[in-house]
A and B are shown apart, each in its own frame.
Chain A
Amino acid sequence: AQKITQTQPGMFVQEKEAVTLDCTYDTSDPSYGLFWYKQPSSGEMIFLIYQGSYDQQNATEGRYSLNFQKARKSANLVISASQLGDSAMYFCAMREVDQTGANNLFFGTGTRLTVIP
């Protein structure tokens, strides 16, 4: 089973509007971390925001916020006041506890966001 599911291959948003990118996850581990990364065409994965499974409040980082609904196992990314530079691929990722201590990330298939002027 997929650990991370992103059901939106592509999304369009008008400049200055808000957009929500969906992410659902699958884990039986009570302790996990959820991440969102932005990948521009250059290829580098840029960290945006983190949410821990025990965090009581939704994470926020500037124009990025994470809508964390634990019971639904969803961790949607909300980008407010979209800018042209936000056009990129966005990946949701999860980290679980690993017996060896490895901190590998499981990524979804991504959503391509296009901001329209």
Chain B
Amino acid sequence: DAGVTQSPTHLIKTRGQHVTLRCSPISGHKSVSWYQQVLGQGPQFIFQYYEKEERGRGNFPDRFSARQFPNYSSELNVNALLLGDSALYLCASSLRAGGMNTEAFFGQGTRLTVV
């Protein structure tokens, strides 16, 4: 079975541009979460989607948006890129939206560099 797949794996963008990152969850998983991991830090929660609805949002500006499609895949969009948006963007899928012990399965991430 395929794990969580993210595309592209690497990306270089210029300040002010827009970027779209994609994530396909594990088959049967309905929840997708996005995390930003800046170099030297732990991942920070950006969004969670479950059944195509936003279930949670972290402390990120409105330049960040996301959506989930009927097949449960998801896109993360970032507008007006800043140098500080350079990071590894991780997608995690899980069976359920909540549940204390719900295991999150992570993809290998998209490494975004803004120049």
Interface residues of A (CB under 8 A from B): 4, 31-33, 37, 42-47, 50, 52-53, 91, 93, 95, 97-98, 100-110
Contact = CB atoms under 8 A, between A and B. Distances in A.
A40 to B, nearest CB: 10
Contacts of B109: 43-44
B45 A97 contact: no
B94 interface: yes
B55 A100 contact: yes
Contacts of B107: 44
Task: Report, as a range, how many residues of chain B touch the other chain.
Answer: 20 to 34
A13 B100 CA distance: 32
A84 B53 CA distance: 42
Contacts of A91: 42-43
A45 B90 contact: yes
A67 B4 CA distance: 30
A34 B96 CA distance: 17
